[in-house]
Amino acid sequence: MSEYKTEQEVFWAGEFGTDYISRNKQHTLFASNLNFFSKALSRCQSVESVIEFGANIGLNLKVLELLFPSLEVSALEINGDAVKELQKFIPPESVYHSSILDFQPQGKTWELSVVKGVLIHINPDELDGVYETIVNASSRYILIGEYYNPSPVAIPYRGHTDKLFKRDFAGEIMTKFPNLRLLDYGFAYRNDPVFPQDDITWFLLEKPSKRN
Ligand SMILES: C[S@@+](CC[C@H](N)C(=O)[O-])C[C@H]1O[C@@H](n2cnc3c(N)ncnc32)[C@H](O)[C@@H]1O
């Protein structure tokens, strides 16, 4: 029996997830990611710590380290081969080899919680718990970057069914956590002539200050 609850987790923990790593490496994503995060986080004040859920080999985190030089970086990732790559530049205690469905942060929080291109691959029945995990992990900012659709749809993904879902993830999070403030949002287009991204719609949310 699988250690995972959903077929989507088995898919990413296994061969498909490992093959994704080499596809991800081949892309010249660095400049596009630098542009993406500098725009998406421009409304943040300084950020001292981050956790990325579904970090893959850490391409986003390497960009974040450039943008915030004193950043303390943590990563959660389900695929063991991707985890080995993360451990090459992140201390082992800050790399969580786990499904986001099983994550136990044990009270730890990070100033920024990031998820990009991951909620689209989560079994929709599990999203409610995953939203809680992402929001509870943050002490201040939450960045969601996913495929947007006003209503939930499943679309074929590289010949596979039930592996890619589009919906208003950030809208659902804001409905579930009405205290969150929408600081900024935007779209990064696949045909951008200079800094293409995979049609990512992003939302930067902020928790209410404890001082107020
Ligand atoms: C499409 S990739 C996106 C990678 C990275 N966030 C980026 O923006 O390039 C999805 C990543 O999420 C990971 N993933 C998928 N389901 C997961 C789960 N349930 N828990 C943790 N990671 C997961 C995959 O292994 C993969 O690394």
pLDDT at 211: 59
Which residues are 184's β-sheet partners? 204
**Nearest by Cα to 50 from 114, 101, 143, 116:** 114
Cβ(118) – ligand 1 distance below 6 Å: yes
**Domain assignment present for 182:** yes
**Threshold 0.95, pTM exceeds:** yes
Q: Which residues contact 163 (CB under 8 A, 6 or more apart)?
A: 8, 11, 121, 157
Task: Pick from 78, 83, 101 the residue to mutate for probing ligand 1's pocket: most ligand atoms within 8 Å of its CB.
Answer: 78
pLDDT at 46: 85
**Nearest by Cα to 129 from 57, 53, 198:** 53
128 pLDDT more than 90: yes
**Domain assignment present for 28:** yes
Ligand 1 center to 116 CA (angstroms): 8
**Domain assignment present for 2:** no
pLDDT digits (tens, 9 = 90+) for 48-74: 999 999 999 999 999 999 999 999 999
Cβ(75) – ligand 1 distance below 6 Å: no
Output the domain CATH number for residue 173: 3.40.50.150
- Percent pLDDT > 90 in the chain is 91
pLDDT digits (tens, 9 = 90+) for 1-55: 578 999 999 999 999 999 999 887 766 689 999 999 999 999 999 899 999 999 9
Stretch 185-191: mean pLDDT: 97
What is the number of structural domains in the chain? 1
**Domain assignment present for 108:** yes
Q: Which atom of ligand 1 is nearest to the CA of 8?
A: 16
**Domain assignment present for 189:** yes
**Domain assignment present for 211:** no
**Domain assignment present for 196:** yes
Q: Whose CA is nearest to atom 3 of ligand 1?
A: 117
